[in-house]
Each structure stands twice: as structure tokens, then as C-alpha cells.
Structure 1
Amino acid sequence: MCVSIPLDDWRRESDSDTGAYAATRRISGNPQVPQADIDRVAQISENAANPVLVLGPDVDEYGGWEAAIALAEKLRTEVYLGSGEYSRMPFPPITAVSVGRSARRWPRSASD
């Protein structure tokens, strides 16, 4: 799992809550993210103005489709495929339609 931070965000002061959270973060070498961690990311992301998921081929390689779909549904966010050529699709292709270029909201709205 990777959390991407906008470049201009590095110029902002963090508050004490953010610093305290960073000090308690967990790093895991397990390629299959536990459901509790997915729930935690979703909880943190609920206050985000425009959350998105950017996924790569390891999501499929390590059996993460269901977890990625669950997280996208929980966040009601857009899903993008990372740039590059993949032999494995990181998300259902009817949802993320163009590698690194466009996305569909998941779940897709009736107007799509």
C-alpha cells in the first residue's frame, strides 16, 4: 500500500495530531493487507476531500481484488491504474478503463 502525498503538501506545517499518528504508524511486509488495516485507511480517508486509489499489478498477484473493491466502495472513490504495462490487472477492467489516464467512480453511477 502506498499513500501518495501532493508535492505542495510538504510545505505545510503538520499539527500535533498528524505528528502523533506518524509516530505510531505500522509498516508490514505482508503483501496481503489485513482487513483491519484496510478499515483503518478507510477511516482516515473519510475526511479527505478527493480521495483516490492508485493500484498496481501486485493487487492481483497477491489476491487483493476483493480488498481493493471493498476499500473503493467504502471510500466511494475513483480508482486509477498506475502507469506502466501490466501482465496483471490491479482492478476490474470495466471499472478502471485506461491505465494511468482515466477512471470510473466505483460503484459506477446510473449515468455511466
Structure 2
Amino acid sequence: MIWTQLNQWWHAAVDGQEWLVLFGLSAQAMFMMRFVVQWISSERAGRSMMPVAFWWFSLGGGLLLTIYGFLKHELVIIAGQLPALIIYSRNLHLIHRERRGVGA
């Protein structure tokens, strides 16, 4: 009985767009990986860390989620991700500039 209900729910959620649902789930998984990377780095260092990979996963996952939002016409996802993409990009730029030894 539960499997029948889950199957019905899945087909209603997918509605013939399996590729789009799989794309969205992949985007969400990539976005989630930033937390995994941050957690592992912090545990290894014994203090809170924000590794560069966190910002790369943030940018990649945020970009994919924004694309997903446009494809699904999800204004909430688009509005939540677009400004964040600017912040992720800026952080990566600052990190790159610091590593090159370029001042402000």
C-alpha cells in the first residue's frame, strides 16, 4: 500500500519530466556537498573552516539550482539563488586575489 502511494506521488511530482527532476535533484545534491566539505574541513582542523571548495560547490550548485528554477518557472528558487551567486563569485574572486598577493 505504501509503495503504491509513493509511486503515485512520484509520478505526480515528475509529471513526465524525469530529466528535469533528476537535474534538480543533482543540483540540490551538489549544493548540499558544500556543507559536507565545510564540516569535514572543520572536523579535521578542530575549528570552523570555510575551504575554497565550499565556495565552488556553492557557485556550481547555486547556478544549477537557478537553471532548474528557470526551467520549472519557480520564482522562489530563482530569487533565492541569483543574489547568492554574486556573493559566491565575489568570495572566489577575493580568495584568488589574496592568493596572487594582489592588494585591495
Report the TM-score when normalising by structure 2: 0.27
Q: Which has the larger radius of gyration?
A: 2
TM-score by length of 1: 0.25
